Amino acid sequence: MVWQWSCPPISQGRSTSQERRRWIALVVVLVAGFMDLLDTTIVNVAVPSIQRDLRAQYAQLEWIVAGYVLAFAVVLITSGRLGDIYGRRRLFLTGVAGFTIASALCGIACSPGMLIVSRFLQGGTAGLMVPQILAFIHVTFPPNERGRVLGIFGAIVGSAAVVGPTFGGVLVDWNAFGLDWRPIFLVNVPVGIGAFAAALFAMRESKSATAAKLDLVGAGLVTAAIAMLVYPLLEGRRFGWPAWTFAMMAGAGAVLAVLVVYEHRRARTIGSPLIVLGLFRVRSFTIGCVLWLIFWIALGGFFLVWTLYMQLGLGWSPLRAGLTAGAFAVGAAAAAAIAVEVLIPRYGRQVLMAGALLNAAGFASCVWAAGRYGPAITSWQLIAPLAISGLGFGLIVSPTIDFVLAAVPKDDAGSASGLLNTAQQLGVALGVALAGVIFFTQLDSGSDRGVDTVIPRVRTELAVAGLDEQAQARIISGLRVCVQDRSASTNPTETPMSCRGVQGQATQPGGRDRVTEILSEAGETANAENFSRTFGRTLWWAVGILAAVFAGLFAVPRRVGQHSPHPPGFDAHCGARPVDQSSCGAARVDAWSGRMSS
């Protein structure tokens, strides 16, 4: 077997000490991956506290959130290749050290500008360490152990997305030492120091034997292409999707085309390309990356509308919303733990198909529950739909990673991991942008319906408060405008002017406080009604995307769990070294693709 030279079983000479060290190293890289996933979401719950403490403007708050994602996305492919060239352990340690320092800088930030810069640094250094995680798993663990490892990794991915808001809510509410929001960043410091020390001891160095030097031109092109695509997706809604956002995305496509041409030429001449285009000749890698991107479009959109629905719509605290979503994490962890090792060998791609259907069924159940119970919905009524969604998620994530990376030569593990992580980040960015457009458009256009549901009760209560019909009509008209303006606002931290004067329309002495109370309750109910309906309509798009994933899985080999060794002389570079042109043709790659599809 190809893997035996790097990961022999204990019976073939591996000492107990070596065995222990590689499992310790696995814990270290998984902790690092969890830290990254946590910091992608944890900051959202602290935004109000950050705004009050640093007196940040809304645009600055958006950059505090988006800066991390943008910096993370643009360095993934380059850092994956850097790990192949200079050593995955070295890049991982650099990333952990930088992430720890950046977290400390975030925690002591004294201005919005300092926090934004620190978040960019935090995202960029996270981008250095994350591609090394899957590369480390790929080169360290043989196929018969990789299923167990990827099951653990899948459980981590499934839980971090919902643990982040919960943990952040706990830290902010706790207000340890009067530090308010700062512990959400400072907590990374001792964890990062521990991870760095453990990685120094336990993590073994590995690098590619063929990637001799960094492709600087390719790195520049790929960074520009991803930045030009991700930035307008993150910021487009805030600016109202002007023409320049679409021009940037079209420009990203043009830069990507130039990148492909350049990488192909470099592979045939200089060698050591940033992106090994030969990997895309492998059917499992190409199909897997495409389905992975599409899958994360659905999931990225879901996590966005879930947060909006729970916190802005129903008014739940981040802690309650996070604990409710714990059902998703439990389902994901349970399914991921058995998917690769137990289910895939027996049922093959049917496991992935079942995952897509379960995930879609869970989302559809969330839609039904939101429509059935409306603003009165409880956490208990969402547990089953979320658990079903989590089960489907867990059945897809771990097997897909294994399926995509199984045919990748160990020399290109970092590059392949960077590409897979980039596909995930682009999917999330596309999902957030798509769901945001659909959600807020629906919320704006349907805002009258929420008001219509509360008008009868408002009229009755205003009459009891002593207001005549003319005053009632004026107040209800103001309430309608307030709800409409709030639904159409792109800045949820500001109260529209129309909402500030509604309660002032009471004319009877002593009645102003009661009218304010009536309108406040009515506005919350109307808002919750609108969010519940909009949440359901937006989530149907995610269901449709998962149906597309299900259809795409028919292109996956039936026995995705049966990985053959690479055929003799297989080289995904296909022309990376001029002297190998005769022995590294497309026929050999196609032969390998044929073995994977058989």
For the chain, give the mean pLDDT.
82
User: How far apart, in whole angstroms, are the C-alpha atoms of residue 152 and residue 92?
Assistant: 19
Is the pLDDT at 5 greater than 90? The verdict is no
Strand locations in 397-471, DSSP E? none
- Which residues lie closer than 8 Å to 105 by C-beta, 6 or more apart? 114, 118, 121, 122
Cβ-in-10-Å burial (0-12, 13-18, 19+) of 165 comes to buried
Q: How confident is the model at residue 584 (pLDDT cuts 50, 70, 90)?
A: very low
Torsion of CA 535, 541, 547, 550, to 10 degrees: -90
User: How far apart, in whole angstroms, are the C-alpha atoms of residue 468 and residue 479?
Assistant: 16
Smallest CA-to-CA distance from 79 within 92, 69, 97, 66 is with 92
Smallest CA-to-CA distance from 270 within 209, 217, 206, 208 is with 217
Which pair of tokens denotes residue 413?
Answer: 């593990």
- How distant, in Å, are the alpha carbons of 231, 242, 254, 431, 586 from that of 246? 11, 7, 13, 16, 36
pLDDT tens for residues 217-256?
999 999 999 999 988 988 887 788 899 999 999 999 999 9
- How distant, in Å, are the alpha carbons of 338, 414, 565 from that of 569? 34, 20, 11
pLDDT tens for residues 11-65?
444 567 777 888 899 999 999 988 888 887 788 778 878 888 898 887 788 888 8
Please provide residue 200's backbone torsions phi and psi, each rounded to the nearest 5 degrees. Answer: -60, -40
Smallest CA-to-CA distance from 429 within 180, 173, 198, 248 is with 248
Q: What pLDDT is stored for residue 151 in this prediction?
A: 80
Q: What pLDDT is stored for residue 13 in this prediction?
A: 47
Per the listing, tokens 């981590």 go with: 156
Is the pLDDT at 277 greater than 60? The verdict is yes
User: How far apart, in whole angstroms, are the C-alpha atoms of residue 313 and residue 91?
Assistant: 42
Q: How confident is the model at residue 144 (pLDDT cuts 50, 70, 90)?
A: confident
Which pair of tokens denotes residue 416?
Answer: 């392949």
User: How far apart, in whole angstroms, are the C-alpha atoms of residue 540 and residue 8?
Assistant: 48
Smallest CA-to-CA distance from 229 within 389, 57, 426 is with 426
**DSSP designation for 564:** P
Is the pLDDT at 588 greater than 60? The verdict is no
Residue ranges covered by each domain of the chain: 16-143+165-212, 215-273, 447-531
Please provide residue 364's backbone torsions phi and psi, each rounded to the nearest 5 degrees. Answer: -60, -35
- Which residues lie closer than 8 Å to 510 by C-beta, 6 or more apart? none
Q: What pLDDT is stored for residue 254 in this prediction?
A: 95
- Which residues lie closer than 8 Å to 505 by C-beta, 6 or more apart? 471, 474, 475, 478, 515
Which pair of tokens denotes residue 329?
Answer: 């994490």
Q: Which helix (H) or strand (E) holds 366?
A: helix 349-373
- CATH number for the segment(s) 16-143+165-212: 1.20.1250.20
Q: Which helix (H) or strand (E) holds 428?
A: helix 413-445
Which pair of tokens denotes residue 83?
Answer: 């790990």
Q: What pLDDT is stored for residue 511 in this prediction?
A: 52
Helix (H, G, I), strand (E, B) or coil at 214: coil
- Which residues lie closer than 8 Å to 120 by C-beta, 6 or more apart? 67, 68, 70, 71
Q: How confident is the model at residue 598 (pLDDT cuts 50, 70, 90)?
A: very low
Angle between helical axes of 143-174 and 112-140 (0-180°, round to 10)? 160
Is the pLDDT at 291 greater than 90? The verdict is yes
CA atoms within 13 A on the CB side of 491: 13
Smallest CA-to-CA distance from 534 within 446, 434, 455 is with 446
Which amino acid is located at 297 in the chain?
I
What is the chain's length?
598
Q: What pLDDT is stored for residue 388 in this prediction?
A: 96
Per the listing, tokens 């802690």 go with: 319
% of the chain residues with pLDDT over 90: 32
Q: What pLDDT is stored for residue 512 in this prediction?
A: 58
Is the pLDDT at 593 greater than 70? The verdict is no
Would you say 483 and 531 are in contact if contact means Cβ atoms under 8 Å apart?
A: no
- Which residues lie closer than 8 Å to 378 by C-beta, 6 or more apart? none
User: How far apart, in whole angstroms, are the C-alpha atoms of residue 280 and residue 580?
Assistant: 19
User: How far apart, in whole angstroms, are the C-alpha atoms of residue 229 and residue 235?
Assistant: 11
Would you say 576 and 271 are in contact if contact means Cβ atoms under 8 Å apart?
A: yes
pLDDT tens for residues 66-81?
889 889 999 999 998 8
Compute the 3-state secondary structure of the chain and give helix, strand, coil in percent, each to the nearest 5.
Answer: 80, 0, 20
User: How far apart, in whole angstroms, are the C-alpha atoms of residue 294 and residue 276?
Assistant: 22
Is the pLDDT at 585 greater than 60? The verdict is no
Q: Which residue has the higher pLDDT, 7 or 163?
A: 163
Mean pLDDT lowest among 140-144, 187-191, 429-433: 140-144
Smallest CA-to-CA distance from 344 within 563, 129, 135 is with 563
Is the pLDDT at 591 greater than 60? The verdict is no
Mean pLDDT lowest among 110-124, 221-235, 482-496: 482-496
- Buried-exposed string 57-87: b where 16+ CB fall within 10 A, e elsewhere: eeebbbbbbbbbbbbbbbbbbbbbbbbbbbb
Is the pLDDT at 510 greater than 60? The verdict is no
Mean pLDDT of the region 185-190: 93
User: How far apart, in whole angstroms, are the C-alpha atoms of residue 396 and residue 398?
Assistant: 6
Which amino acid is located at 230 in the chain?
V
Which pair of tokens denotes residue 291?
Answer: 């389905």
DSSP 109-137: --SHHHHHHHHHHHHHHHHHHHHHHHHHH
Smallest CA-to-CA distance from 115 within 171, 62, 72 is with 62
Would you say 32 and 97 are in contact if contact means Cβ atoms under 8 Å apart?
A: no
Q: What pLDDT is stored for residue 180 in this prediction?
A: 86
pLDDT tens for residues 535-574?
988 999 999 999 999 999 998 888 765 544 444 344 444 4
Q: How confident is the model at residue 2 (pLDDT cuts 50, 70, 90)?
A: very low
Is the pLDDT at 449 greater than 90? The verdict is no
Q: What pLDDT is stored for residue 351 in this prediction?
A: 94
pLDDT tens for residues 252-273?
999 999 999 999 999 888 888 8
Is the pLDDT at 212 greater than 90? The verdict is no
Would you say 555 and 287 are in contact if contact means Cβ atoms under 8 Å apart?
A: yes
User: How far apart, in whole angstroms, are the C-alpha atoms of residue 154 and residue 474?
Assistant: 55
